[in-house]
Amino acid sequence: MKTYNYLEYHLDENGILFLSINREDKMNALNIELLNELKMIMTEVYESDEIKGVILRGKGNKAFAAGADIAEFSSFTEDKGRNMARNGHRIFRMIEMCPKPVIAAVNGFALGAYRDWETDRKSTRLNSSHLKLSRMPSSA
């Protein structure tokens, strides 16, 4: 596997890929480069016989992921925003439909379009702030 700017990973001896979103200084907010990296590594997950499952987490203790990187996306044109949303939806669909188990080890905040998630951790906070922004979540 290759080196990524915003993802860290380790494949253990049992074939479990430990994958961390590494934008801790931005509460692991998803930008275009990170989304593209997720697509690349999920393609590897699909194609590799060595990878038996994935545990996905956010780096640090503050947030699993802060949703979209609003600072980056706020300057997009309507077409660029629409294309980014479609691409994000495809990537999250890859994760959702993966033939191998993918576990989200949610630590801290999980902001954005998360739905149908269960948690038993008191430190976990799921929130969808799209209504405050008058936007529909791209992954819904």
Q: What CATH number does residue 77 fall under?
A: 3.90.226.10
Residue 134 has pLDDT above 50, yes or no: no
3-state secondary structure of 44: helix
- 134 lies in some domain: no
Q: Are 102 and 95 in contact (CB under 8 A)?
A: yes
- 98 lies in some domain: yes
- 139 lies in some domain: no
- 104 lies in some domain: yes
Residue 69 has pLDDT above 70, yes or no: yes
- 41 lies in some domain: yes
Residues spanned by the domain of 58: 7-127
* pLDDT of res. 47: 98
- 137 lies in some domain: no
- 111 lies in some domain: yes
Q: Could you tell me the pTM of the whole model?
A: 0.80
* pLDDT of res. 74: 86
Q: How many CB atoms lie within 10 A of CB 63?
A: 23
- 140 lies in some domain: no
Span 75-101, pLDDT tens digits: 899 999 899 889 989 999 999 999 999
Q: Are 6 and 35 in contact (CB under 8 A)?
A: no
Number of domain units in the chain: 1
Task: Please work out, in degrees rounded to the nearest 5, the angle formed at the alpha carbon of residue 139 by the alpha carbons of 123 and 68.
Answer: 60
